[in-house]
Amino acid sequence: MGFYNTSGTLVTVAVDSIAISGLNAYLIPETGLQTFQLPLNPQATEVLITFYMGTQMHTLALTYQVETQVVSKDCGALAYLNDLQLTTTTFAQVTISNPRLTTNGGINVKIRME
Amino acid sequence: MAASMLRSGWSSLLLLVTLAAYSQPADSLRGFRKPTGLRVGTDLIALGKTIARVPLTGWELNADIDLGRFYPVVELGSWKRKQPLVNGMYTNSGRYARIGMDINFLLKDPDKNMFFIGFRYGRASYSEQVSYTLTPDLFPVVQQTLSNAGARAGWAELTTGLRVKVWRGFWMGYTARMKFLPHTSGTSAFDSYDIPGYGLPFKGLYWGFNYQVFWRVPFERH
């Protein structure tokens, strides 16, 4: 996911920590964030992400589907996450730019910062 | 892609029917005739794989009957795969059947040896299961097991091959198969990896080969 300004340009945002449902730890970025690779639990189909940004707190709830494919004996079976959808958010505007999640597929979620 | 494969399949079928109609003189076995015998056989490659205990085991029975140059064919088989994966295990087990027709192009052979081109439609009923280990970033390692208990599939084939009389009612031969248009149902847990009687459906065209032995039972003693 990536943070954008109103003109659609990537911007750096100061995020103190990120909480992800199902994960018993906070992610603490070392520097400001422009993009962020969201870890998702393949045993779940929804996730709640909480961004702590100074005195502000924003949440983002997403749902997704998990699809298993047996690729080959050498690649094995893989779990693909797709059909990403926004449920709720406290950000001004969030758009799903690509509902199929991959580790190198670019930006899936665009968060517009005001 | 499926549409173009279907078009090419029908084109090939039309071509072979046309060839069958025009390749022989009028006094040959060009038309349908009363059947003279039933030929029943099995696939030696499937039996060899089963004996060698390769990941794929099974058997296949074949039967055809002569109606002049046209040979209606029924094939029944069993197929079981136990395929180790780099992160788990895939297994399936099921039965399949094919029906179709072979068209013989050696009409003047006194022993009724055959070089044929034909077509099949296949159906399979099977179950499959995959167990695998997931190692997601930050989340705990997961052991996942998914099953398609009542999977079904269908497909089409173009075939060619030989049947040669070896001794009395004993025949040998081979069948090469070009398999296409696989379609499945009852596979909600995961897409089928291996369809009994077909193979790997995600490869588009899939090729098969049988080396067969037969026993022909004549309907009348001459």
CATH of the domain at B187: 2.40.160
pLDDT at position A50: 94
Residue B104, domain extent: 37-218
More confident residue, B19 or B198: B198
Helical segments of chain B, H only? 2-22, 44-52
Residue A104, domain extent: 2-112
Contact B190 A68 (CB under 8 A): yes
Q: Is 80 exceeded by the pLDDT of residue B31?
A: no
Contact B136 A42 (CB under 8 A): yes
Q: Could you tell me which chain A residue has the CA closest to the CA of B148?
A: A68
Mean pLDDT of A60-68: 93
More confident residue, B125 or A42: B125
Greatest extent of chain B over all pairs of C-alpha atoms, in Å: 79
Residue B21 confidence class, pLDDT cut points 50, 70, 90: very low
Beta-sheet pairing, A2-4 with A109-112: parallel
Residue B2 confidence class, pLDDT cut points 50, 70, 90: very low
pLDDT at position A36: 86
Tokens of B21: 């109609």
pLDDT at position B3: 45
What ipTM goes with this model? 0.77
More confident residue, B214 or B33: B214
A8/chain B closest Cα distance in angstroms: 29
Percent of chain B with pLDDT over 90: 65
**Cα B218 vs. chain centroid, distance in angstroms?**
25
B110-157 per-position pLDDT tens digit: 888 999 999 999 999 999 999 999 988 888 898 999 999 999 999 999
Establish, for the pair of chains A and B, how many residue pairs have beta carbons separated by less than 8 Å: 57
For residue B26, is it within any domain?
Answer: no
Q: Could you tell me which chain B residue has the CA closest to the CA of A67?
A: B190
Contact B86 A73 (CB under 8 A): yes
Identity of the residue in B83, B144, B191 whose CB atom sits nearest the CB atom of A73: B83
Give which of B134, B144, B147 to mutate to test A binding, by max A Cβ within 10 Å: B134
Mean pLDDT of chain B: 86
Domain count, chain B: 1
Identity of the residue in B88, B136, B138 whose CB atom sits nearest the CB atom of A77: B88
pLDDT at position B29: 59
Contact A40 B142 (CB under 8 A): no
For residue B21, is it within any domain?
Answer: no
Q: Could you tell me which chain A residue has the CA closest to the CA of B131?
A: A77
pLDDT at position B12: 53
B38-62 per-position pLDDT tens digit: 999 999 999 898 888 778 899 999 9
With the C-alpha atoms ordered A95, A97, A99, A102, is the resulting torsion angle positive or negative?
Answer: negative
In chain B, residues with a C-beta closer than 8 Å to the C-beta of A82 are none
Q: Is 80 exceeded by the pLDDT of residue B180?
A: yes
The torsion of the CA quartet B48, B54, B55, B60, rounded to 10 degrees, works out to 0
pLDDT at position A42: 87
pLDDT at position A100: 87
In chain A, residues with a C-beta closer than 8 Å to the C-beta of B88 are 76-77
Domain count, chain A: 1
Contact B85 A73 (CB under 8 A): yes
B85/chain A closest Cα distance in angstroms: 4
Identity of the residue in A20, A23, A76 whose CB atom sits nearest the CB atom of B85: A76
A48-62 per-position pLDDT tens digit: 999 999 899 999 999
DSSP string, B6-63: HHHHHHHHHHHHHHHHHSS-TTSS-S-----EEEEEEEHHHHHHHHHT-SEEEEEEEE
- Asked if residue B9 lies in contact with residue B204, where contact means CB atoms within 8 angstroms, the answer is no
Q: Could you tell me which chain A residue has the CA closest to the CA of B128?
A: A70
pLDDT at position B26: 45
More confident residue, B23 or B207: B207
pLDDT at position B30: 66
pLDDT at position B194: 94
